[in-house]
């Protein structure tokens, strides 16, 4: 009797596995292995070691200059409490180009590399700008079908442009849900092939007609850039940004099983190096005397689009409704690189904040809170 029951269980399990593969959900096994079996409930800021990655190599490091008031100003209790309650790993403030405050929790330190999540989307658009500047790509208006000819035969795909992907107006049939294991984000994150995850998606809207934040749009952009350059995105990021900016550590950009970077996600770097990306935008694309990224392209990235209701440009989120206007790179669970031009300030916060409150336009309230509180003391 026991043998029959056991046999039935094994047959049933085998059937479930077969169906899972048949319907394209085999990535679920990897997801379970890398989350639940490791005591996690989903992706996390420390999961670099569970994925393949390409190195974004640093050059000659240029450490941050510390302000004379470095870590001499205590943060107010309400700010400290907010950072602790939101499971922050790091909190940095750059003022007038100098490091004025730096704090870490739960064993993290200045050398800790954490997952950028969608901060990578902003980096991806920076790479697009550099490729246009170097004539590797014609312009933001270049059609996606120039890179992948099959899109010319798709009703909405034939008119899709790189700029529409960068501004989240691609019209893809993509549900940006981070909790369901059966939706495209999970497949892109845990699956073996990013090509399979994004190139098989169709369109639900005509491109350029509606703003909808979609990781698949940035991944398509990544494929176009990589094809135009004939080098990895990580190598291009190293050559054009990590080395010229004097990043202090190599970064890791996680990939699928075929070496393609997750363009929508997952650059593992230090908070100090993330801060340099913010400083680059504060300086209108310059680092010292070098114009690293064209100033006009920087302006396009941080200019809100009409379709986004004023909250998104290209790879950057924007809050011009606040008393102190600011814009920022944003990643899942509250990874922020916040630029506050009026205060000549950059704020970096990393960690795991899973229950974020949003404002009326869908932006995380914590960002405006951090800007307001930090601006009172620095």
At 180 the pLDDT is: 80
| Token duo for residue 174 | 């993509």
Measured over all CA atoms, what is the biggest interatomic distance in the chain, rounded to whole angstroms? 80
Percent of the chain residues topping a pLDDT of 90: 84
Regarding whether 236 and 133 lie in a shared domain, the answer is yes
Regarding whether 87 and 32 lie in a shared domain, the answer is no
Regarding whether 95 and 25 lie in a shared domain, the answer is no
Lowest mean pLDDT among 74-88, 178-192, 225-239: 178-192
Distances, alpha carbon 121 to alpha carbons 56, 75, 168, 316, 374, in Å: 15, 31, 11, 8, 26
Per the structure, the count of domains in the chain is 2
| Token duo for residue 357 | 């409150």
| Token duo for residue 131 | 């490729």
Average pLDDT over residues 88-110: 98
182: domain CATH number is 3.40.710.10
How far apart CA 358 and CA 61 sit, in angstroms, is 37
Task: Let me know: does 213 contact 122? Beta carbons within 8 Å.
Answer: no
At 152 the pLDDT is: 94
Regarding whether 235 and 206 lie in a shared domain, the answer is yes
Regarding whether 214 and 330 lie in a shared domain, the answer is yes
Regarding whether 76 and 205 lie in a shared domain, the answer is yes
Task: Let me know: does 43 contact 188? Beta carbons within 8 Å.
Answer: no
Name the pLDDT band for 200 (thresholds 50, 70, 90): confident
Regarding whether 329 and 215 lie in a shared domain, the answer is yes
Burial class (CB in 10 A: 0-12, 13-18, 19+), 127: buried
Report the SS3 class of residue 198. helix
pTM assigned to the model: 0.92
| Token duo for residue 3 | 């043998």
Q: Which residue has the higher pLDDT, 43 or 213?
A: 213
| Token duo for residue 187 | 């497949």
pLDDT tens, position by position, 351-372: 999 989 999 999 999 999 999 9
| Token duo for residue 15 | 């059937």
Question: Residue 189 sits in which domain range?
Answer: 47-377
Q: Is the pLDDT of residue 38 over 70?
A: no
Mean pLDDT of all residues belonging to the chain: 91
Name the pLDDT band for 213 (thresholds 50, 70, 90): very high
| Token duo for residue 137 | 């790509």
Regarding whether 244 and 160 lie in a shared domain, the answer is yes
pLDDT tens, position by position, 147-161: 999 999 998 999 999
């Amino acid at each position: 009797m026991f043998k029959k029951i056991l046999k039935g269980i094994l047959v049933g399990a085998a059937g479930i596995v077969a169906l899972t593969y048949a319907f394209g959900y085999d990535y679920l096994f990897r997801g379970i292995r890398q989350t639940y079996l490791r005591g996690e409930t989903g992706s996390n800021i420390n999961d670099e070691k569970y994925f393949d990655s390409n190195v974004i190599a640093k050059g000659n490091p240029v450490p941050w200059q510390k302000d004379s008031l470095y870590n001499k100003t205590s943060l107010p209790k309400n700010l400290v409490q907010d950072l602790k309650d939101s499971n922050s790993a790091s909190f940095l403030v750059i003022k007038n180009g100098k490091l004025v405050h730096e704090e870490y929790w739960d064993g993290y330190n200045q050398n800790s590399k954490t997952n950028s999540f969608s901060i990578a989307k902003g980096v991806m658009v920076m790479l697009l700008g550099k490729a246009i500047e170097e004539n590797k790509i014609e312009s933001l208006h270049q059609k996606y079908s120039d890179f992948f000819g099959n899109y010319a035969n798709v009703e909405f795909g034939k008119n899709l442009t790189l700029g529409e992907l960068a501004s989240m107006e691609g019209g893809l049939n993509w549900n940006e849900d981070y909790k369901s294991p059966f939706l495209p984000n999970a497949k892109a994150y845990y699956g073996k092939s990013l090509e399979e995850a994004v190139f098989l998606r169709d369109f639900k809207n005509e491109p350029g007609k509606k703003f909808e934040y979609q990781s698949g749009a940035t991944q398509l952009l990544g494929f176009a850039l990589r094809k135009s350059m004939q080098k990895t995105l990580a190598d291009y990021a190293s050559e054009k940004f990590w080395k010229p900016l004097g990043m202090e550590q190599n970064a890791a950009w996680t990939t699928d099983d075929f070496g393609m970077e997750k363009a929508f996600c997952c650059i593992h770097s230090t908070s100090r190096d993330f801060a340099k990306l913010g400083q680059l935008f504060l300086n209108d694309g310059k680092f010292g005397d070098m114009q690293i990224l064209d100033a006009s392209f920087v302006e396009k990235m941080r200019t809100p689009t009409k379709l986004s209701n004023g909250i998104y440009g290209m790879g950057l989120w924007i809050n011009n409704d606040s008393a102190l206007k600011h814009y920022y790179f944003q990643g899942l669970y509250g990874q922020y690189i916040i630029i506050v031009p009026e205060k000549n300030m950059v704020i970096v916060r990393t960690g795991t904040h899973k229950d974020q409150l949003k404002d009326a336009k869908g932006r995380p309230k914590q960002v405006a809170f951090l800007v307001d509180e930090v601006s009172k003391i620095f």
